[in-house]
Amino acid sequence: MLRSLTLSVLALSLYVAGSKSTVAASPQRHSQEKNAFEDLSFARKIVFENRDTTLKILQRYAPIKNQFGTETKALFFNTYGLYHWFERYFETSIQMFDSTILLPDIDKYVEYQVEAINNAGALSSKLGRVDSAIVYLEQALKIDEDRNNTVGIAKTSYDLGMAYGRKAQYYIALRHYLRAKDIHETNENVEPSRLITNYNVLGNLYLEINDTTNAIHYYRLGLQLAEKVEDSTALGMISDNLAALYLDANQPKKALTYSKKSLGYYETLEMVPEDIVAIYGNMATAFMALGMKDSAQYYSVKAKRFYGGLQPEMLSKIFVNHASILLETNRLDSAKLMANQAVTIANSIENGSTLAQAYHILSSIDSALGDFKSALGFYQRYTAIRDSIFDDKHKSRVAELNIIYETEKNEAENINLHTQNKLKQQLIIAQWLVLALAAIGFTLMFYFIRRLKLSNQRIQLQQQTILQKNDELREINKTKDKFISIIAHDLRSPFNGLLGLLSELIENFDSFDDKEKLELLEKTYKSSINTHNLLENLLDWAKGQLNGFENKPEMVYVEHSLAKVIQVLEPRASKKNIKLSTEIPTGIQIFVDPNILTNILINLVNNAIKFTNPGGEIKVEAFVVEAMVRVCVKDNGIGIPVDKLTDLFDLGQEFKRFGTSREPGTGLGLILVKEFLTVSNGSITVESEEGKGSVFCFYLPGIQPA
């Protein structure tokens, strides 16, 4: 269904712009810089409502900005960043915030530092760079937590909720949204629009995880507050979201009631196309569910007038919705036209969910038209995308569970550390107590010795508590491994896609000729084999996590494994205009587990792509060296500092940096390569020069041991 989001997006921008305070100019500032600081402070205050004046002030000081101190430069860059944000030049805006972050001694001006980091994170999330956004926002959250800035904590928690929501890691997003909500509810000075927005996104998030009860609860809290402050925009938005909720719950009458309420609230406002189309679209869907096809068609046509002002993602969803209504009213040609338009847009923005829905509708249309072969083709595309989305959701859930586990582990360690610190404090108190007792006199010695024994008993009890906490941490580690095993078990669900194909064959058996039936059965069989192999690989991996890695070496042709890796990574290299080439003599074999070799190659080639500039070149070569095979991955990228070469394969060292297109890195890929080579009786070397590129070579046995 279609949910209104306009208010939450607007509130986010207002929230970013109004969440920081300005630091007063120091008395020692040079008169010219003092004037500049005062003018820039004024520009900072008016940037939202008067951007023309703001730009004039910024342009006046742009030529001499490098003459100013760190604080004035930070104010300049942050204000320019906000100006570009509101003008929708998002890339330039992030560059300005990064300029603040890179200023020398910026940590002395923490207000500007955290504002720049936070805003860069929020914009990165808006542009779809979710991993980069999370890196920024976690850093901002740490700074605000260290200084106990609850306003900043609430703002960053909200933005982190948005970022994790875009990664479909809904339970982590929920934690952050609830933290922001708790702070907003206890802050008497918070603007009502922020709390309304918080309630709305919580309702949307609970709806995503199928918790209808909590979704309704937070939508209604938002409605109550919006009614109290007479916020018609919020009332219209949340009413439309409730309409979408009741449509999902198959209660079209209730949905229609809330859609009409939403339309009534918006009548006094200048509505944006997204809100108009969302309301009309939900009303059309509700009328269709009630069997009132003429009314459904009427509101679909009304919505169509506003398509020109929609973003591609919203427009593709509208076309799918309209195509479904046209199909129900048996207007097949018009339905097919709408569905094909949805396919074109969804493909251009890589929206898998909408694309799958469009293919499913096209399959139904062609089936109704008697073109069963085309219908089968569309249905197969639909099931392939649906299964891919299903796998992605499970992978996302695995990552989310790991993050939750690490968070809970850190919390447990913090409790343990707090207990130890408390124990140390009590030990110090006990020592001072002994000295004081000795000074008082021999006559009170026995009394104080008794007190000391009691104190030691308490300390022993606390030590036992610490040991118990350590046991609990070990249990948490065991639980994590169990999670991995359970998730691997749950991934058997891709077989549902095969059951869907078989169901299609059974339901339309008489409509297919023998050739089409045989073709469908052959494709179903091949799909079954592929799905079964995927499931077996996942189960083997989970078993390895539980019981240790199982190494099964065999003679493997290097060129075959490399060809598969190149096929997987070529699209990513093409996006950066990087040339991938190979020089592998035919027939070279390595005695290694095939999965291990594939993982090593993927990690090394992927690493080379990440740190090679657009337009660069990567080459993979292989040579026979006595009884070993040497495989080298060469690039002409940014290279590695000499003092960091020894840290690349050391888990105890931390060397992380962004790729040439700001791809985030963890440093774990090379450590994993080293572990794979160790269990395979291999080794790895690296040569690199900063600015000229790197060469990673690994050695593995070229013959099977006797």
Can you tell me the mean pLDDT for 153-179?
89
Q: What integer pLDDT is reported at residue 17 of this predicted model?
A: 36
383 in the same domain as 523:
yes
**Which residues constitute the domain of residue 493?**
370-542
pLDDT value at 58 more than 50: yes
Q: Is residue 296 part of a domain?
A: no
Q: Which residues pair with 479 in a beta bridge?
A: none
614 in the same domain as 496:
no
pLDDT value at 432 more than 60: yes
Q: End-to-end distance of the chain based on CA atoms, in angstroms? A: 64
- When the pLDDT of each residue in the chain is averaged and rounded to a whole number, the result is 79
Q: What integer pLDDT is reported at residue 7 of this predicted model?
A: 40
What is the number of domains present in the chain? 2
Q: What integer pLDDT is reported at residue 59 of this predicted model?
A: 92
Q: What integer pLDDT is reported at residue 687 of this predicted model?
A: 93
Q: What is the pLDDT of residues 284-328, one digit of tens each?
A: 888 888 888 888 888 877 877 776 666 677 777 777 877 887 787
Q: What integer pLDDT is reported at residue 298 of this predicted model?
A: 86
Q: Is residue 148 part of a domain?
A: no
Q: What is the pLDDT of residues 573-590, one digit of tens each?
A: 888 899 999 999 888 999
Q: Is residue 616 part of a domain?
A: yes
Q: What is the pLDDT of residues 26-35, one digit of tens each?
A: 444 568 888 9
Buried b (16+ CB within 10 A) or exposed e, 9-36: eebbeebbeebbebeebeeebeeebeeb
pLDDT value at 4 more than 80: no
Q: What integer pLDDT is reported at residue 347 of this predicted model?
A: 85
Q: What integer pLDDT is reported at residue 500 of this predicted model?
A: 63
Q: Which residues pair with 632 in a beta bridge?
A: 621, 697
Q: What integer pLDDT is reported at residue 458 of this predicted model?
A: 73
536 in the same domain as 656:
no
Closest CA to 255 of 233, 281, 232, 274: 281
Per-residue pLDDT band for 330 (boundaries 50, 70, 90) equals confident
Q: What is the pLDDT of residues 652-675, one digit of tens each?
A: 566 677 788 877 665 667 887 888
Closest CA to 201 of 231, 158, 141: 158
Please report, rounded to a whole number, the percentage of residues in the chain having pLDDT higher than 90. Answer: 25
pLDDT value at 599 more than 90: no
User: Comparing 605 with 400, which gets the higher pLDDT?
Assistant: 605
- For every residue of 660-692, DSSP letters joined together read TT-----SHHHHHHHHHHHHTT-EEEEEEETTT
Q: What is the pLDDT of residues 80-90, one digit of tens each?
A: 999 999 888 99
575 in the same domain as 595:
yes
Q: Which two tokens stand for residue 475?
A: 């249990």
Span of 43-57, 336-350, 440-454 with lowest mean pLDDT: 440-454
Q: Is residue 492 part of a domain?
A: yes
Q: What integer pLDDT is reported at residue 555 of this predicted model?
A: 92
pLDDT value at 238 more than 60: yes
Q: Which residues, at least 6 apart from 304, have a Cβ–Cβ distance to it below 8 Å?
A: 322
Q: Is residue 231 part of a domain?
A: no
Closest CA to 498 of 366, 379, 389: 379
591 in the same domain as 459:
no
Q: What integer pLDDT is reported at residue 484 of this predicted model?
A: 47
**Angle in degrees, CA 86, 92, 97, rounded to 5:** 85
Q: Is residue 12 part of a domain?
A: no
Q: What integer pLDDT is reported at residue 483 of this predicted model?
A: 41
Can you tell me the mean pLDDT for 171-180?
91
Closest CA to 692 of 647, 613, 639: 639
421 in the same domain as 384:
yes
648 in the same domain as 499:
no
Last residue of a domain, one of 515, 542, 569: 542
473 in the same domain as 563:
no
CATH of the domain at 562: 3.30.565.10
Last residue of a domain, one of 511, 542, 573: 542
Q: What integer pLDDT is reported at residue 263 of this predicted model?
A: 81
pLDDT value at 433 more than 80: no
User: Comparing 642 with 422, which gets the higher pLDDT?
Assistant: 642
636 in the same domain as 585:
yes
Q: What integer pLDDT is reported at residue 507 of this predicted model?
A: 77
pLDDT value at 428 more than 80: no
Q: What integer pLDDT is reported at residue 547 of this predicted model?
A: 55
Q: Is residue 5 part of a domain?
A: no
Last residue of a domain, one of 522, 542, 562: 542
Which range of 125-139, 468-482, 532-546 scores highest in mean pLDDT? It is 125-139
625 in the same domain as 578:
yes
Can you tell me the mean pLDDT for 182-207?
89
504 in the same domain as 385:
yes
Per-residue pLDDT band for 686 (boundaries 50, 70, 90) equals very high
466 in the same domain as 409:
yes
Q: Is residue 706 part of a domain?
A: no
Per-residue pLDDT band for 417 (boundaries 50, 70, 90) equals low
